[in-house]
Amino acid sequence: MRGTAESAPQTTTVLSMSSDSPTSTPSDAEATGDPILTSFENGVGRLTLNNPRRKNAITLEMAASIERFCDQVAASETIGAVVVDAAGSYFCSGADTRILAGASADPAAPESVRQLSAVYAAFVRVGSLPVPTIGVVVGGAVGAGLNLALAVDLLVTTPDAVLDSGFLARGIHPGGGHLTLLNRAVGRANTIALAACGQSLTGDEAVAQGLAYAAAPVDELPAIVDGLTGPAARDPELTRKVMSSVRLELGPPTVTWDSAIEIERGTQMWSMARKGQNWSSRGPARS
């Protein structure tokens, strides 16, 4: 630790899990102009964050696209697994700072609550899908980006990727059920170390702590992902029934995810109001 009813939806945009898929160049990935790339192939749905110039920071448009993708997966009983990855060299840097800056002007304003809630709701949808979800983290995940990484069922990553709570360094309270998600993955002590003491985990450390399933060089990740999604996609009807039992038997945590979001909301609003519009620097605003 460091400081069967429906057929599958039609393919919209295909991003294959080739050896260079997780590290597509921004120019290649952004050529489509779509902030989210999705595909459905051989019983596997894929959602790719496609905002690499901003380290895949989540915008409201991206959050809405994530929700639509989840609707498609839920409606198609021929999908047996989902992969969540990202274009470029960094998985996700959190919510777009333009959303955060706007919310900080008046955190209690209905529009501020709506915008942050939209981002968090998209992650809840990912975490509630009826099939196993596999996240692929290259580079790192921070803040709400770590929330998205924690939303998936199985995380695979590169050994040197950095998984960072990040809220403390930014001077704001965690949100989106962050503490509950961390505790579910790494336990109380590590949650405190990450969220309250500013520590982070490498990919290797994340595996050791139970946050990630596997860590491997980037060119080995596709084989790991295929090894997980292939069996799940071969019998999606059974896979969905297994995952239904998993969700019932192993969750929710002591505090439900939705409740955790509300518990954190008020204090996060306070911390954002304290920070104000100063989103170009880390930590709270200084008088």
The domain defined by 26-275 folds into 2-enoyl-CoA Hydratase; Chain A, domain 1 (3.90.226)
Please provide the DSSP assignment of 119-156 as one string.
HHHHHHHHHT-SS-EEEEESSEEETHHHHHHHHSSEEE
Per residue in 37-57, pLDDT tens? 999 999 999 999 999 999 999
Global pTM reads 0.82
Length in residues, the chain: 287
CB atoms within 10 A of CB 3: 7
CA angle 156, 159, 164 (to 5 degrees): 80
Q: Can you give the pLDDT at residue 267?
A: 86
Phi, psi of 208 (to 5 degrees): -60, -35
Per residue in 140-187, pLDDT tens? 999 999 999 999 999 999 999 999 999 999 999 999 999 999 999 999
Q: Can you give the pLDDT at residue 178?
A: 96
Q: State the 10-residue block means of pLDDT for the chain, 287 residues long.
A: 47 35 40 86 98 96 97 98 98 90 82 90 97 99 97 98 96 93 96 98 98 98 98 97 90 79 87 77 58
Q: Where are the domains of the chain?
A: 26-275
Longest CA pairwise span in the chain (Å): 61
The residues, any chain, with a CB within 8 Å of residue 173's CB and separated by 6 or more, are 167, 264, 267, 268, 270, 271
Q: Can you give the pLDDT at residue 285?
A: 55
Phi, psi of 95 (to 5 degrees): -70, 145
How many helices and strands, by DSSP H and E, does the chain display? 11, 9
DSSP strand pairing (133-137 vs 81-86):
parallel
Q: Can you give the pLDDT at residue 22?
A: 37
